[in-house]
Amino acid sequence: MKSIRLLALTTPFLFFVLGGNCNAAILYPKAPEGGRQCVIENVGPLVREHPNDTLALPGLRMENLTIAEPHREYAVAATDVAAGHLLSSATSKSWRYILLHGTNAVGVATVADPDPKTGRALSFAGLYETGFSSETLEATRKAKELPQIKKQDYELRFLEVPAIHFVAVWLHGKSDDIIMPLPPTFGRNLNAFQPYSESEIIKVLKPEAKEVMKAPNLIR
């Protein structure tokens, strides 16, 4: 059996932007120790057992799969958005590893943080056929052209408000934050892959979140 070729994701997906005397980039946070191995040990068997339907490419061979450097996944409750809060209320309990076949994103593997209360170690949380993998890469490609990226570093994050089906790439910088909604935008007055400030996103999502709060038995 061939050995699995699992590579760290480097350029062109870790974007370094050179401008004047400033070297700025879209950066990945420090990966968790054991996270990549957790993906290998769990995704490998799934691909072997279900070669035709596990990921987006039928017949995908694990030895041709590249595992990207991970970024964190943040979620915000509808109650917080309805109150006018977004990024300050975002919480993260997992990491997203985009899986690639060549330069094509074919899925996302997620790894959950350790839980000191229960003693649970870093654990595999799921494998998703799409998981907004290609959309995340497209947003990152477009982000490298933004003038803000030439001035300071931004950390790549994934942001979602599950109750209202809002997903975005969140670029976190020291002085500001950029939010780029991912498609579909469900008719909102927001353009996919376009940069918005936190206040602009809240203005659009707040009425929707308030409406969701009126409905019973929904994830909030």
Q: What is the pLDDT of residues 160-175, one digit of tens each?
A: 999 999 999 999 999 9
Q: Where is pLDDT greater, at 18 or 50? A: 50
User: Containing domain of residue 143, as a range?
Assistant: 16-213
Residue-level pLDDT at 2: 30
Residue-level pLDDT at 57: 54
What does 135-183 look like in DSSP terms, one character per residue? HHHHHHHHHTTSGGGGTS-EEEEEEEEGGGTEEEEEEE-SS-EEEEEPS
**What is the CATH number for 28?**
3.10.500
Q: Give me 87's structure tokens.
A: 């990024």
Q: Give me 74's structure tokens.
A: 């943040």
For residue 4, tell me if it sits in a domain: no
For residue 11, tell me if it sits in a domain: no
For residue 102, tell me if it sits in a domain: yes
Q: Indicate if the pLDDT at residue 122 is higher than 90.
A: yes
Most confident of 8-12, 48-52, 145-149, 199-203: 199-203
For residue 8, tell me if it sits in a domain: no
Residue-level pLDDT at 24: 76
pTM: 0.85
For residue 154, tell me if it sits in a domain: yes
Q: In sequence order, what are the residues at sequence separation of 6 or more whose Cβ sits closer than 8 angstroms to the Cβ of residue 79? A: 209, 213, 220
Total domains present in the chain: 1
Compute the average pLDDT of residues 63-81: 94
For residue 193, tell me if it sits in a domain: yes
Worst-scoring range by mean pLDDT, 49-58, 115-124, 205-214? 49-58
Helix (H, G, I), strand (E, B) or coil at 104: strand
52, 6, 59, 43: which is closest to 127 by C-alpha? 43
C-alpha 73/C-alpha 96 separation (Å) is 6
For residue 1, tell me if it sits in a domain: no
Residue-level pLDDT at 108: 94
